[in-house]
Structure 1
Amino acid sequence: MTKLVALQVGDSLEEIRLRPVSRLDLIKYAGASGDYNPIHTIDEEAKKAGLPGIIAHGMWTMGNLAKLFTPYVEQGFIQDYSVRFQGMVFLGDVITLHATLTEKKDNQLRFRVSATNQNGNEVIQGEVVFSLYEKISIP
Structure 2
Amino acid sequence: MTALQQGDVLEVQTFPVTRADLVAYAAASGDPNPIHQDEEVARSVGLPGVIAHGMLTLALAGRAVAAWTDGAEVVELGAKFTSPVVVPADGSVEVLVAGTVKSVADGLATIALEVTCEGQKVLGMPKAVVRA
Residues 24-103 of structure 1: pairs in structure 2 closer than 5 A: 24-71=20-67, 72-73=69-70, 76-91=72-87, 92-103=92-103
Q: Give the number of the structure with larger relative contact order, counting CA–CA contacts within 8 Å between residues 6 or more apart.
A: 2
Partner of 2:130: 130
Q: CA deviation at 1:56?
A: 0.6
| Gap regions ≥5 residues in structure 1 | 133-139
Residue 114 in 1 paired to residue 114 in 2?
yes
Please give the alpha-carbon distance, in whole angstroms, between the structure 1 residues aligned to 2:73 and 2:128.
10
- Structure showing greater Rg: 1
Please give the alpha-carbon distance, in whole angstroms, between the structure 1 residues aligned to 2:27 and 2:40.
20
Number of equivalent positions: 126
Q: Moved runs in structure 1, 4+ residues, more than 3 A?
A: none
Partner of 2:12: 15
Q: CA deviation at 1:32?
A: 0.4
Please give the alpha-carbon distance, in whole angstroms, between the structure 1 residues aligned to 2:70 and 2:122.
25
Is the Cα–Cα contact under 8 Å of residues 13 and 68 in structure 1 kept in the other structure? no
CA RMSD of aligned residues (A): 1.6
| Gap regions ≥5 residues in structure 2 | none
- SS class of match (2:9): coil
Q: TM-score, normalised by structure 1?
A: 0.83
- SS class of match (2:122): strand
